[in-house]
C-alpha cells in the first residue's frame, strides 16, 4: 500500500496548498484516524481518515473538466450573493473547483478539477503556463504599444513577464482594436491592467487557450472532460 507525506496528501486533495497544509499541521488542526498530528512528514496511506479544520478530505477519483465560461458567471465554488458560479454549470457529483480565475465579465477557457497537485503546478508562477487571450480594446493600438506589452509593463508595482502580442484587427471607424495576448503568469486582473496601463481599456475579453487546450469546439457554457493523454501533457508542462 502506497504511503505519502501528510502535507502532500492534503495539498493533492485540493483543500489547500502544501505550504498552507504544513501550517495547519503545525497549528494542530489536522487529525489522522482521530489523532492530532503535528509531525511534519508524517506518512499516511489511502485508508487513513484525514480531517483538516473539521473537514474530512475527499478522496474521490480525479476529474478534469474544460469549460467555455460564459459572461456573467462567477469563477468560484459558491457565491454569497447567490449568483451563478462555474461549478453550477458542470453536472457532476464530485466536488471540483476552478484552476485560477476569470473575471465575471470575461469568457473562455477554464479548467475545473479536484486534483490539488495539478492545480498547484498550473498556477505556480515558476511554471510559466501560457494563456492566450483575445481582447477587444478602446482605441487604435500601434506597434509602439504592442512592443510595450511584449517587453512587460509595471502593474501593482511589479513588471509583468515578457508576453506575446499579435494585432488581429483594427476598426478605425469604431476606434477599437482586436489584440491577441499570450501571458505566462496569472496575476489579479492582469490582462485588463496591462492594456489599461498603455491607455487602452478592455471592452471585451476571452481566454482562448490554456497551454494547448482551447474551446473552439465548445459553445458558451459547454464543457468536456479531459482525456488521460491531455492530463499527462499538462503534468509534463510543469516538469
Q: What is the pLDDT of residues 138-159, one digit of tens each?
A: 999 999 999 999 999 999 999 9
Q: Which three cell numbers stand for residue 96?
A: 471540483
pLDDT digits (tens, 9 = 90+) for 47-94: 889 999 988 887 678 899 999 999 999 998 888 888 899 999 999 888
Share of the chain above pLDDT 90, in %: 71
Annotated catalytic residue within 103, 115, 171, 173? 103
pLDDT at 71: 96
CA distance 160 to 34: 46
Q: Is 103 marked active-site?
A: yes
> 175 pLDDT exceeds 80?
yes
Check if the beta carbon of residue 106 is closer than 8 Å to that of residue 134.
Answer: no
> 110 pLDDT exceeds 90?
yes
> 137 pLDDT exceeds 90?
yes
pLDDT digits (tens, 9 = 90+) for 114-134: 888 899 889 888 899 999 999
Sign of CA dihedral 112, 69, 219, 195: negative
In Å, the largest CA–CA distance within the chain is: 69
Q: What is the mean pLDDT of residues 187-193?
A: 94
CA distance 123 to 131: 11
Q: What is the model's pTM? A: 0.80
> 1 pLDDT exceeds 70?
no
Domains and CATH numbers, the chain: 3-56 (3.10.290.10), 64-125+213-237 (3.30.70.580), 130-210 (3.30.70.1560)
pLDDT tier at 109, thresholds 50, 70, 90: very high
Residue with the three cell numbers 478530505:
57
Amino acid at each position: 500500500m502506497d504511503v505519502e507525506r501528510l502535507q502532500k496528501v492534503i495539498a493533492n486533495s485540493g483543500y489547500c496548498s502544501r505550504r498552507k497544509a504544513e501550517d495547519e499541521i503545525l497549528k494542530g488542526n489536522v487529525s489522522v484516524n482521530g489523532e492530532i498530528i503535528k509531525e511534519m512528514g508524517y506518512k499516511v496511506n489511502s485508508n487513513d481518515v484525514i480531517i483538516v479544520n473539521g473537514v474530512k478530505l475527499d478522496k474521490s477519483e480525479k476529474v478534469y473538466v474544460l469549460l467555455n465560461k460564459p459572461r456573467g458567471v462567477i469563477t468560484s465554488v459558491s457565491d454569497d450573493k447567490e449568483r451563478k458560479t462555474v461549478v453550477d454549470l458542470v453536472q457532476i457529483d464530485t466536488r471540483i473547483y476552478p484552476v485560477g480565475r476569470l473575471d465575471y465579465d470575461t469568457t473562455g477557457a477554464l479548467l475545473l478539477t479536484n486534483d490539488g497537485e495539478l492545480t498547484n503546478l498550473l498556477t505556480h508562477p515558476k511554471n510559466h503556463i501560457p494563456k492566450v487571450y483575445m481582447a477587444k480594446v478602446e482605441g487604435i493600438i500601434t506597434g509602439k504599444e504592442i512592443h510595450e506589452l511584449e517587453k512587460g509593463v509595471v502593474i501593482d508595482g511589479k513588471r509583468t513577464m515578457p508576453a506575446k502580442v499579435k494585432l488581429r484587427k483594427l476598426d478605425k471607424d469604431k476606434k477599437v482594436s482586436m489584440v491577441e495576448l499570450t501571458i505566462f503568469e496569472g496575476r489579479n486582473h492582469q490582462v485588463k491592467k496591462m492594456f489599461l496601463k498603455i491607455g487602452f481599456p478592455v471592452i471585451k475579453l476571452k481566454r482562448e487557450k490554456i497551454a494547448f487546450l482551447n474551446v473552439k469546439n465548445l459553445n458558451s457554457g459547454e464543457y468536456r472532460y479531459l482525456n488521460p493523454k491531455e492530463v499527462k501533457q499538462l503534468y509534463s508542462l510543469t516538469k
